[in-house]
Amino acid sequence: MKGIKKHTHEDREKAILEMVPLIRKKFGDNLVPLAVCCSFARNEDADYSDLELTAFVKTMPEGEPQDGFAKIFDGMLVELTWMTRETYLKTTLDVNEDWYLSGSDRMLPLINDEFIAELNAYRPPDLKQKCLDRAVGCFAEYQETVSKVLNAVNQENCEGIPVLFFEMIMQTLKLLSFLNQKPYVTASRMISQAREFQTKPKSIERLFDLAVNGRYQDLTALQNITIAVFEEFEIIFESLGLVLYDDNIDPNKPVHKMRRMQKSDE
């Protein structure tokens, strides 16, 4: 393979040292801090890990909240993103639709240690309520993926089930993150982390075992476990006083703020 090669932590350190002066040159006085993030920052990078850096700038061109690039160099993916502090908080650490993945972001400073330390210590305001609002909002997507899986089971659509099943798993993981107000650290440990959550359906272990053991083509088990998890989620939401369902389909009547078909900053 030309495009994928093994690299060590030290290899990535060398790449960073090469990039820092080039990044300084690109942004000049507009550059505030620079940091490396994700697996390298956690000292968890493995043979095939990518390298991700974030540059913070004083200003961005009007109409461009952030920018960046991805280059595959010597078999390693290298990504650089640049944005203002305000955009980073809004898109990464504050509770938004992607927070279940982005909210755990921690950076290793390369330039301006104090700036990065302040961001690493940041905690979103009103975390619990905003996460519960998001849980209600994304339940519609979860309901849709469950419905597709049940349709595939009824139709014995064995070729469709793998894609639909893992789409449902992702929506399940997303829902669990918001219900527990805990973002995932890395995609490779999402299921392991979700198993440790306090708020979860009783049958979630059986669902995860279907995924991990590859037994999702057992249609009877898939149907029974999927329905059990869905019903147990309903009980959890009800116990939290969260309303999932509507009593009308009238577009003139109010809808939950997280169910509007647009990206919300709320």
Question: Is residue 92 scored above 60 in pLDDT?
Answer: yes
For 122-136, what is the mean pLDDT?
96
Taking domain 127-259, whether its CATH number is 1.20.120.330 is answered by yes
Tokens found for residue 50: 């990518």
* Sequence ranges of the domains in the chain: 9-120, 127-259
User: pLDDT per residue over 193-229, tens digit each?
Assistant: 999 999 999 999 999 999 999 999 999 999 999 999 9
Question: Is residue 266 scored above 50 in pLDDT?
Answer: no
Q: Name the pairing type of β-strands 51-57 and 76-83.
A: parallel
In this prediction, residue 264 carries a pLDDT of 46
In this prediction, residue 249 carries a pLDDT of 86
Question: Is residue 256 scored above 80 in pLDDT?
Answer: no
User: pLDDT per residue over 102-114, tens digit each?
Assistant: 999 999 999 999 9
Which of 1 and 139 is assigned the larger pLDDT?
139
pLDDT band at 248 (very low <50, low <70, confident <90, very high): confident
In this prediction, residue 162 carries a pLDDT of 97
In this prediction, residue 261 carries a pLDDT of 52
Question: Is residue 260 scored above 80 in pLDDT?
Answer: no
Domains 9-120 and 127-259 share a fold: no
Q: ∠176-142-37 over CA atoms, to 5°?
A: 50
pLDDT band at 257 (very low <50, low <70, confident <90, very high): low
For 119-148, what is the mean pLDDT?
96
User: pLDDT per residue over 4-34, tens digit each?
Assistant: 999 999 999 999 999 999 999 999 999 999 9
User: pLDDT per residue over 36-71, tens digit each?
Assistant: 999 999 999 999 999 999 999 999 988 888 999 999
pTM above threshold 0.85: yes
Tokens found for residue 229: 């998890």
In this prediction, residue 57 carries a pLDDT of 97
User: pLDDT per residue over 144-198, tens digit each?
Assistant: 999 999 999 999 999 999 999 999 999 999 999 999 999 999 999 999 999 999 9
CA distance linking residue 161 with residue 130, whole number of Å: 33
The domain defined by 9-120 folds into Beta Polymerase; domain 2 (3.30.460)
CA distance linking residue 259 with residue 95, whole number of Å: 16
pLDDT band at 265 (very low <50, low <70, confident <90, very high): very low
Question: Is residue 246 scored above 90 in pLDDT?
Answer: no
